[in-house]
Structure 1
Amino acid sequence: MTFRKTVQALAASILCCGLLASAASAATELKHWPKEARAKIEAMIRANAHQGQYATFDMDQTTYRYDLLDPLLAYMDQKGLLTRETMDPAMKIIPFRDSPEFEGGKENMTSYYWRLCAMHDLISYPWASQIFSGFTLKELKKNLDEMLALKQPIKRQVWDGDKVVTVELPIPRMFRGMQELYAKLRENGIDVYIMTAAHEEIIRMVASDPKYGYNIDPEKVIGVTVLLKDPNTGELTTSRMQISEGRYDQKKNLDLVTTSFLTNPMTWFEGKQGSTIGYINQWQRPIMAAGDSTGSDTYMLESVNVERGGIKLWINRKPGNPVEDKKARWTIEHADKSAAEQNELNMPVTANKNWIFIDPDTIM
C-alpha cells in the first residue's frame, strides 16, 4: 500500500470512528423511566426500529402533566381577554349564573366552562376549543407562553353545586420521560404523532416548539380542528387542509384568526381512532399508543399492534401504585372484558396484553 493510500485509509477509519462515536453520543437514553418499563420499551423499539412503524400519543396528562386548555382559558379569563362580552355568541349555550359571591358579581368564563364539563364531556370537549375563536394564532401563542411560564397555579372562582368556591388550576409541567421517549422513537425510525382531544393549533404550539422539548413535526399533530380565517382576504382554511394539499406554512398561519366552526378531524373519544385511520394510516396500526383518559383514549390504546410487540402506555394522573389508580383499574377491567369479547368472537385476544402503567412522578 502506498503512503498516500495508507493516509487515506487512516483518515477514513478516523472519520468512521468519529461518526460512530457521534451517533452513540447522540442516542437518547430513557433515564426518567422506571427500570421495568424502560426495559420493555427499549425491547419494543429494538424489534421495530427502522421498519416504517409509528406511535400515537395523547397530549394532556400524557405528554406533560395536567391539562393545557383549562389553565389557558382561566389565564385569558383572568386577564379580561376572554369574557362573555368578547366570546362568540354561538358559544353561549347556557345562561350565565351570576352571584354576589363572584368578584364583580358575575360568573367568570372558567366557572361557565366548569359547568359545561359537569354536564357531559361531549359538550365540554368541543367547546373548550371553540371558545378561543376570534384570536389570531399569534395572540394565542403569546398568551400560552406567558401562562406556561407561571410558577404558581391560577386561582379562579367557580360554582361547586350551589356554592361559589375558589379553585387552583395547575400549570402544565413537561414530562422529561416523554421528551426522552419521543426522541428515542424518532432516532429509531418510528414516527411520533400527537392525537389530542384538545385544540390542534394550541397543542401544536407546545408539541412543535423546541423550547418545550418534544420537537414533534407540526404536520404530525392531530387534534380538534376549527376553521381558520385570513383577516385580509376572508379565505377559510385549516392546517389539515393545507397539509393534505402540500402547502402548510406554520409561521405564515400565525396571522390567521380562529373561528368556532368545527371541522374534521374531531378527535375526542372514538374520534382518535377514526382520525388515526383517516389521517395516518388506514391499515397499519401504531406500534405504541399512550394516554390517560378512560373512554377518550381507550380506542386508540386498544388499536396497538400487539402482534408486533406493540405497547399500550397508560400514564396515571396521580402518583402512587399505578394499578391501584381508579382510572387504571377501570382500564384494566375494560381490557379484560374486551379480551373476553374477542375470545367469544374467535378473534386474536390482544385487548388485555402489553399494558404498562406509569406513576407520573417517575417520569417528571
Structure 2
Amino acid sequence: MKFSRTSQAAAIWLAGLVAVHAAPSFNATTNGTAPMLLRHWPPAAAAALSEMIVRNANQSNYAVFDMDNTSYRYDLEESLIPYLESIGVLTRDSMDPSLRLIDFKDTANYTESLYSYYLRLCDMDEMLCYPWAAQVWAGMTLRELKGHVDNLMALNSSLPVQYWSNETLVDDSVSPPRVFTAQAELYNVLMANGIAVYVISAASEELVRFVASDPVYGYNVPPENVIGVSTFLRNATDGSLTTARRQITDNVYNPDDNLDLVFGPYLNTPATWFAGKWAAILTYIDDWKLPVLAAGDTPGSDTYMQFHGVDVSKGGIHLWINRKDAYYEELQEMIAEAAQGQAENGREVTADKNWVVVTPEEIL
C-alpha cells in the first residue's frame, strides 16, 4: 500500500507503526467532493487515517473505538465513583448487598471509600472490578445518573481520593473525562464518509452512552451503536426487566423512553472486556465483516478486538493511544506474539500491520 499525501506517511506506514510528534494540520478531499478535515491530528496520523477513509468511504464499512482513555482522556467510572461518594449519592448503604464481595478495610482513623474498595478488587482480579464498576449504580434511574455524569463532565478540577495500596493509605486525585478533540473529529469524519462508528467499552453501556451520544460532547454516536457492559433495567411501575440491547434487537429502542428505568445489579452478556469486546462485535455488529479501524489504549482489554478485528486487506488501521510507556512495551510484545501465532497457524500475518500511534497530548 502506498500513500499519496506524503512520502513521510508512506514510509512510516510501510514500516508498520506510525508515531507522530508534530502540530496537527491536515486537509484531504473525499473522492473529489466535500472536504474531509482532520485538523486536530498530527500530520502523519491524519494522512494515514485519511487514506483509509478515502479507500473505504460509503461501502457499508464500520470502525470500533474503546471509550475510556481512547476517545476521551481519563476514565468515566473511576471518576464518577469518587464524585458520587463526595456528594453523598453513592454509599455503602446505597450499594446493592450482592456487591459486597469482600470486607471493607477500615481502621480507627479511616473508613474505606468505595473507590478504594474498587481498586482493591482490581488488585485481586480485574474480573471482579470490571463488572463491579458497572453494577454499583444499581438502584439509580438512568435520568438521575445522566444528570450526575453531566455534572462530572462539567467539573474543572480533579477529585481528591484516598485508597489502600497494600498496607499504605495513599492520598491522590482523579480527573473527570476530557474529550479528545481529535477523536471527536475522527468520529464525525468517519460517519460523514459513510463509515459507521461503534463504541465497544468495558464500562457501563448506559454511562458511556450518556457521553458518546449526547451532542453536547461532540461524538454524535447513534445511541444504538454504543456497546458496553449491560445490566438489566427495571421498570419501577410494573417490575418488568429489559436491556437496551434487547430493545435494539427487537427494533423498539428509544433511549428517552428508558430514562426512568432503574439500573439493576444483574449482568447481561457478552461482557465487553478483553475477549468479550471481540464477542460483542460478533454478536451485535457483524459475524464476518471486519472493521476498518479499531482503536484502543489498554493491552489485553482492547487488543482482542484489535488483533482479530481489523481488515488490513482494506487498509484497515490499528489505532493506539499511547498513554503509558509500560503499556506500549507490553503492546509490542503482544504484537510479536500475535504475528508469530498467525504465521505458525497458516494465517495471514496482520497483527503487526498498519498501526497508527499517538499520545493523549497530541489529540486533546
**Structure 1 and Structure 2 fold alike (TM over 0.5):** yes
Deviations 1:46-68 (A, max 9, x none): 11111110000000000000100
Q: Aligned partner of 1:287: which letter?
A: V
1:284 to 286, 289, 292: 289
Which secondary structure does the structure 2 equivalent of 1:342 belong to? helix
Distance, in Å, in 1 between the alignment partners of 2:304 and 2:195 is: 21
CA deviations on 1:307-351 (whole Å, 9 max, x unpaired) are: 111000000225xxxxxx221121122112211221122211111
Partner Cα separation in structure 1 for residue 32 and residue 49 of structure 2 = 19
Q: Could you tell me whether the CA contact under 8 Å between 1:136 and 1:254 is conserved in 2?
A: yes
Deviations 1:145-201 (A, max 9, x none): 111111111102211221222110111100000011001101110000000000000
Matched, 1:304 2:305: no
Match of 2:189 in 1: 184
* Equivalent residue for 2:203, pick from 198, 203, 208: 198
Equivalent in the alignment of 1:361 = 361
Question: Contact between 1:328 and 1:357, CA under 8 Å: does it hold in 2?
Answer: no
Measured after TM superposition, the shift of residue 28 of structure 1 is 4.5
Once residues 26 and 37 of structure 1 are traced to their aligned partners in structure 2, the CA distance between those partners, rounded to angstroms, is 20
State the partner residue of 1:314: 320
* TM superposition shift of 1:236: 0.2
Range with greater deviation from structure 2 (340-349 or 303-312): 340-349
- Report the TM-score, using the length of structure 1 for normalisation: 0.89
Cα pair 1:150 1:171 within 8 Å, conserved: yes
Q: 1:149 is matched with which residue: 138, 146, 154?
A: 154
- Report deviation, 1:69: 0.4
Deviation by residue 1:275-333 (Cα, 9 ceiling, x = unmatched): 10010000000000000011010111112001111000000225xxxxxx221121122
1:199 is matched by which residue type in structure 2? S
- Structure 2 residue corresponding to 1:97, chosen from 102, 105, 125: 105
Aligned partners of 2:239 and 2:252: how far apart in 1? 18
Structure 1 residues 67 and 308: CA distance shift in structure 2, 3 A: same
Partner of 1:13: none
Q: Is the 8 A contact 1:186 1:192 kept in 2?
A: yes
1:88 aligned residue: 96
**Partner in structure 2 of residue 274 of structure 1:** 279
Alignment of 1:33-112 (within 5 A): 33-102=41-110, 106-112=111-117
Aligned residue type for 1:172: P
> Please, which of 109, 124, 145 is the counterpart of residue 129 of structure 2?
124
| Residue 100 of structure 1: how far off its partner (Å) | 3.0
1:87 maps to a residue whose letter is M
Partner of residue 254 from structure 2, selected from 231, 244, 249: 249
Checking the alignment, whether the CA contact within 8 Å between 1:33 and 1:362 is kept in structure 2 is: yes
- Residues 228, 256 of structure 1: 8 Å contact kept: yes
Q: Give the conservation status (yes or no) of the 8 Å contact 1:27–1:184.
A: no
Structure 1 SS opposite 2:280: helix
1:73-111 CA-to-partner distances (Å, cap 9, x unmatched) read 111111111111111000000001112332xxx211111
After superposing the two structures, state which structure 1 stretch, 156-165 or 249-258, moved more: 156-165
What's the TM-score once normalised by structure 2's chain length? 0.89
3-state SS of 1:351 partner: coil
Supply the AA of the counterpart residue of 2:81. Answer: L
Letter in 2 for 1:95: D
% same residue: 46
Once superposed, what is the RMSD of the aligned Cα atoms? 1.4
* Cα shift at 1:128: 0.4
Shift of 1:27: 4.3
**Conserved 8 A contact 1:229-1:236:** yes
- List alignment gaps of at least 5 residues for structure 1: 1-22, 319-324
Aligned partners of 2:238, 2:33: CA distance in 1, in Å? 49
Q: How far apart in 2 are the matches of 1:127 and 1:24?
A: 49
Aligned-partner Cα distance in 2 for 1:186–1:158: 41
Q: Hey, what's the Cα distance between the residues in 2 that align with 1:137 and 1:100?
A: 36
User: SS in structure 1 opposite 2:310?
Assistant: coil
The change in CA–CA distance for 1:265 and 1:346 in structure 2 (over 3 A counts) is: closer
8 Å Cα contact 1:27/1:187 also seen in 2: no
Give 2:96's aligned amino acid: D
Task: Count residues with an aligned counterpart.
Answer: 333
Answering whether residue 174 of structure 2 is matched by residue 166 of structure 1, we say no
CA deviation digits over 1:12-40, x for unaligned, max 9?
Answer: xxxxxxxxxxx999745111111111101
Q: Deviation digits for residues 191-222 of structure 1, max 9, x if unmatched?
A: 00000000000000000000001000000000
